[in-house]
Amino acid sequence: MVQFITMNVLVGFALASLGAGLFCSPSYTLILFPDALARTAGNTSEVFSWSEVKELYTFINRVAREHRIVAQDGRRLEIDAKVKDGKKLGLTVQQTLFVRMRPGAVKAFEAGETLTFGNLRVDQNFLYYKDKRLGVGRDQENDTPVQCVHALAPVRG
Protein backbone atom coordinates (compact mmCIF):
# COMPACT_ATOMS: atom_id res chain seq x y z
CA MET A 1 0.00 0.00 0.00
CA VAL A 2 2.86 2.37 0.86
CA GLN A 3 4.48 1.61 -2.49
CA PHE A 4 1.23 2.38 -4.28
CA ILE A 5 0.89 5.75 -2.54
CA THR A 6 4.57 6.58 -3.14
CA MET A 7 4.21 5.64 -6.82
CA ASN A 8 1.10 7.84 -7.19
CA VAL A 9 2.86 10.77 -5.52
CA LEU A 10 5.87 10.41 -7.84
CA VAL A 11 3.68 10.11 -10.94
CA GLY A 12 1.66 13.13 -9.80
CA PHE A 13 4.84 15.13 -9.23
CA ALA A 14 6.20 14.12 -12.65
CA LEU A 15 2.97 15.17 -14.38
CA ALA A 16 2.90 18.47 -12.47
CA SER A 17 6.51 19.18 -13.45
CA LEU A 18 5.81 18.34 -17.07
CA GLY A 19 2.73 20.57 -17.09
CA ALA A 20 4.63 23.46 -15.52
CA GLY A 21 7.34 23.09 -18.14
CA LEU A 22 4.82 23.15 -20.97
CA PHE A 23 2.84 26.14 -19.75
CA CYS A 24 5.53 28.38 -18.26
CA SER A 25 7.35 30.75 -20.57
CA PRO A 26 11.03 29.93 -21.05
CA SER A 27 13.46 31.86 -18.88
CA TYR A 28 16.29 33.73 -20.54
CA THR A 29 18.71 36.57 -19.87
CA LEU A 30 19.59 39.45 -22.19
CA ILE A 31 23.13 40.82 -21.97
CA LEU A 32 24.06 44.10 -23.64
CA PHE A 33 27.59 44.34 -25.07
CA PRO A 34 29.13 47.31 -26.93
CA ASP A 35 28.83 45.49 -30.28
CA ALA A 36 25.96 43.06 -29.67
CA LEU A 37 23.00 41.88 -27.64
CA ALA A 38 23.08 38.29 -26.37
CA ARG A 39 20.23 36.07 -25.22
CA THR A 40 21.17 33.20 -22.94
CA ALA A 41 18.89 30.42 -21.78
CA GLY A 42 20.28 27.44 -19.92
CA ASN A 43 23.31 26.17 -21.82
CA THR A 44 22.46 27.97 -25.07
CA SER A 45 23.17 31.49 -26.18
CA GLU A 46 22.35 33.54 -29.25
CA VAL A 47 24.23 36.70 -30.20
CA PHE A 48 22.78 39.53 -32.27
CA SER A 49 25.78 41.52 -33.48
CA TRP A 50 24.83 45.11 -34.38
CA SER A 51 26.38 44.60 -37.84
CA GLU A 52 23.98 41.66 -38.42
CA VAL A 53 20.82 43.61 -37.60
CA LYS A 54 18.68 44.37 -40.63
CA GLU A 55 15.60 45.88 -38.99
CA LEU A 56 14.43 47.28 -35.68
CA TYR A 57 10.73 47.73 -34.96
CA THR A 58 9.28 49.66 -32.03
CA PHE A 59 5.67 49.07 -31.04
CA ILE A 60 4.19 51.51 -28.56
CA ASN A 61 0.88 51.24 -26.77
CA ARG A 62 -0.51 52.73 -23.56
CA VAL A 63 0.79 49.96 -21.35
CA ALA A 64 4.14 48.90 -22.75
CA ARG A 65 6.73 49.38 -25.41
CA GLU A 66 8.15 46.48 -27.39
CA HIS A 67 11.24 46.36 -29.58
CA ARG A 68 11.82 43.65 -32.15
CA ILE A 69 15.22 43.10 -33.71
CA VAL A 70 15.43 41.19 -37.01
CA ALA A 71 18.83 39.89 -38.12
CA GLN A 72 19.86 39.54 -41.75
CA ASP A 73 19.47 35.76 -41.47
CA GLY A 74 15.86 36.13 -40.22
CA ARG A 75 16.46 35.51 -36.50
CA ARG A 76 14.28 37.63 -34.23
CA LEU A 77 14.64 38.93 -30.71
CA GLU A 78 11.94 40.76 -28.78
CA ILE A 79 12.39 43.08 -25.84
CA ASP A 80 9.03 43.60 -24.17
CA ALA A 81 7.39 44.23 -20.79
CA LYS A 82 8.31 40.71 -19.61
CA VAL A 83 12.00 41.65 -19.70
CA LYS A 84 13.29 43.28 -16.52
CA ASP A 85 14.03 46.95 -17.34
CA GLY A 86 12.84 46.14 -20.88
CA LYS A 87 11.84 49.72 -21.68
CA LYS A 88 15.27 51.07 -20.75
CA LEU A 89 17.09 48.25 -22.56
CA GLY A 90 14.89 48.68 -25.63
CA LEU A 91 15.56 52.42 -25.79
CA THR A 92 19.31 51.81 -25.42
CA VAL A 93 19.25 49.25 -28.25
CA GLN A 94 17.13 51.59 -30.40
CA GLN A 95 19.56 54.50 -29.93
CA THR A 96 22.61 52.29 -30.52
CA LEU A 97 21.18 50.91 -33.76
CA PHE A 98 20.05 54.35 -34.93
CA VAL A 99 23.58 55.72 -34.54
CA ARG A 100 25.04 52.70 -36.36
CA MET A 101 22.46 52.46 -39.18
CA ARG A 102 21.84 56.14 -39.97
CA PRO A 103 25.06 56.86 -41.96
CA GLY A 104 24.40 53.92 -44.32
CA ALA A 105 20.78 54.93 -44.78
CA VAL A 106 21.73 58.55 -45.55
CA LYS A 107 24.39 57.39 -48.03
CA ALA A 108 21.91 55.04 -49.77
CA PHE A 109 19.26 57.78 -49.91
CA GLU A 110 21.71 60.31 -51.36
CA ALA A 111 22.75 57.71 -53.98
CA GLY A 112 19.12 57.57 -55.13
CA GLU A 113 18.06 54.31 -53.48
CA THR A 114 14.59 53.81 -52.02
CA LEU A 115 14.61 53.20 -48.28
CA THR A 116 11.98 50.81 -46.93
CA PHE A 117 10.58 50.77 -43.38
CA GLY A 118 7.80 48.17 -43.41
CA ASN A 119 4.88 49.75 -45.31
CA LEU A 120 6.70 53.10 -45.47
CA ARG A 121 9.12 53.82 -48.33
CA VAL A 122 10.97 57.00 -49.20
CA ASP A 123 13.01 58.06 -52.20
CA GLN A 124 14.18 61.48 -53.38
CA ASN A 125 10.84 62.24 -55.02
CA PHE A 126 8.14 60.63 -52.92
CA LEU A 127 7.18 59.32 -49.51
CA TYR A 128 5.10 56.15 -49.98
CA TYR A 129 2.76 54.46 -47.53
CA LYS A 130 1.08 51.30 -48.81
CA ASP A 131 -0.61 52.44 -52.04
CA LYS A 132 -0.39 56.20 -51.33
CA ARG A 133 2.38 58.70 -52.00
CA LEU A 134 3.33 62.21 -50.97
CA GLY A 135 5.48 64.31 -53.29
CA VAL A 136 8.75 65.75 -52.02
CA GLY A 137 10.62 68.63 -53.66
CA ARG A 138 14.03 70.22 -53.05
CA ASP A 139 14.78 73.69 -51.68
CA GLN A 140 16.99 75.18 -54.41
CA GLU A 141 18.96 77.45 -52.03
CA ASN A 142 19.83 74.77 -49.47
CA ASP A 143 19.39 71.68 -51.68
CA THR A 144 17.35 70.04 -48.92
CA PRO A 145 14.12 68.03 -49.27
CA VAL A 146 10.90 69.93 -48.56
CA GLN A 147 7.39 68.57 -48.46
CA CYS A 148 5.28 69.67 -51.39
CA VAL A 149 1.72 70.73 -50.71
CA HIS A 150 0.06 67.54 -52.02
CA ALA A 151 -2.42 65.29 -50.37
CA LEU A 152 -1.54 61.62 -50.25
CA ALA A 153 -2.47 60.35 -53.70
CA PRO A 154 -2.88 56.72 -54.73
CA VAL A 155 0.05 55.23 -56.60
CA ARG A 156 -0.83 54.34 -60.18
CA GLY A 157 0.90 51.75 -62.25
pLDDT digits (tens, 9 = 90+) for 15-74: 555 454 445 455 788 888 999 999 898 889 999 999 999 888 888 776 667 888 999 999
Establish if 98 belongs to a structural domain: yes
DSSP 8-state assignment for residue 119: T
Is residue 105 domain-shared with residue 125, that is, in the same domain?
A: no
Residue at 101: amino acid letter: M
What integer pLDDT is reported at residue 80 of this predicted model?
Answer: 83
Is residue 57 domain-shared with residue 104, that is, in the same domain?
A: yes
Establish if 58 belongs to a structural domain: yes
Radius of gyration of the chain (CA): 24
Is residue 42 domain-shared with residue 61, that is, in the same domain?
A: yes
Could you count the other beta carbons within 10 Å of the beta carbon of residue 36?
14
Establish if 155 belongs to a structural domain: yes
Establish if 1 belongs to a structural domain: no
Task: Decide which of 150 and 91 is more confident.
Answer: 91
CATH classification at residue 65: 2.30.29.30
For residues 134 and 125, give the distance between their C-alpha atoms in angstroms, rounded to a whole number: 9
Task: Decide which of 110 and 150 is more confident.
Answer: 110
For residues 58 and 90, give the distance between their C-alpha atoms in angstroms, rounded to a whole number: 9
Query: Per residue in 90-112, pLDDT tens?
Result: 889 999 999 998 999 889 988 99
- DSSP H or E run through 54: strand 53-60
Establish if 22 belongs to a structural domain: no
What integer pLDDT is reported at residue 151 of this predicted model?
Answer: 45
Task: Tell me the DSSP string of 132-154.
Answer: EEEEEEEETTTTEEEE-S---EE
Could you count the other beta carbons within 10 Å of the beta carbon of residue 93?
22
Is residue 101 domain-shared with residue 138, that is, in the same domain?
A: no
Task: Decide which of 143 and 116 is more confident.
Answer: 116
Number of domains observed in the structure of the chain: 2
Domain with 94, as residue range(s), is: 27-111
Is residue 100 domain-shared with residue 37, that is, in the same domain?
A: yes
For residues 135 and 150, give the distance between their C-alpha atoms in angstroms, rounded to a whole number: 6
Whether the pLDDT of residue 14 is over 80: the answer is no
Kindly report the pTM of this predicted structure: 0.63
Contact yes or no for 67/92 (Cβ under 8 A): no
Half-sphere exposure for 127 (CA within 13 Å, toward CB):
12
Establish if 17 belongs to a structural domain: no
Contact yes or no for 149/155 (Cβ under 8 A): no
